[in-house]
Amino acid sequence: MSRSGAVVALVVALAVTASARAVAAAAAGDAAGRFTCGAAGVEKALRYNVSGRLAADYLPAGAEPGESLATAVCCDIEYMQFAEPAGFFQRPDVALFAQLNADATTTFYDSACGIPLFVAPRNRTFAAWRAESAANGWPSFRQAEVVEGNVIALNGLVASKCGTHLGSLFRDQDGNRYCTDLSCVSGNPRR
């Protein structure tokens, strides 16, 4: 496929997904159809030091006044095409991998509804997972790390079954790579 053909395909995928998300937003109780995470929205106390960050400090203009980075990136249709900044998870005030136990797996939860999404590392070492994430700029998960039934991929976009936008899906020589926004996978377990 030519470069222009790939761009057209991506624009069509975004438009189709935006329409689906608008329907999901309306179903979630957002009459304007802008937000997809339901009336409760994103949790107030997210893990990994991502709470309390304003979208306006990280994304182009247009965020709702006081809108959090997590709400904008994970739930706001207007920002669906954006991601949190590359390397956000490595910022000294976030330092994701420094907060994790390198000798155990970690479960990542949806920032809006609290369902489990990814368990990592699986079928690789902690060091390999950290290195792949650093090389790609966002926390990256492989197929074996996906909690089946809770993560949906469509046209290269990844969402939870709750409607939370999680990131993008890429295929490479090792298979599927789920490139996620930390803000969207920093929830707490649903109670």
pTM of the entire predicted model? 0.82
Contact status, residue 146 vs residue 161, Cβ threshold 8 Å: no
Q: Find residue 153's DSSP bridge partners.
A: 158
Query: CB neighbours (10 Å) of residue 28?
Result: 20
Cis peptide bond upstream of 121, omega within 30:
yes
Mean pLDDT of the chain: 84
Average pLDDT over residues 115-138: 98
pLDDT in tens, 63-74: 778 889 999 999
Distance in angstroms (rounded) separating the CA atoms of residues 74 and 143: 21
What is the DSSP secondary-structure string of 21-54? HHHHHHHTT-TTS-B-STTT-S-SS-STT-TT-B
CA 69 to chain centre: 11
Residue 41 pLDDT more than 70?
A: yes
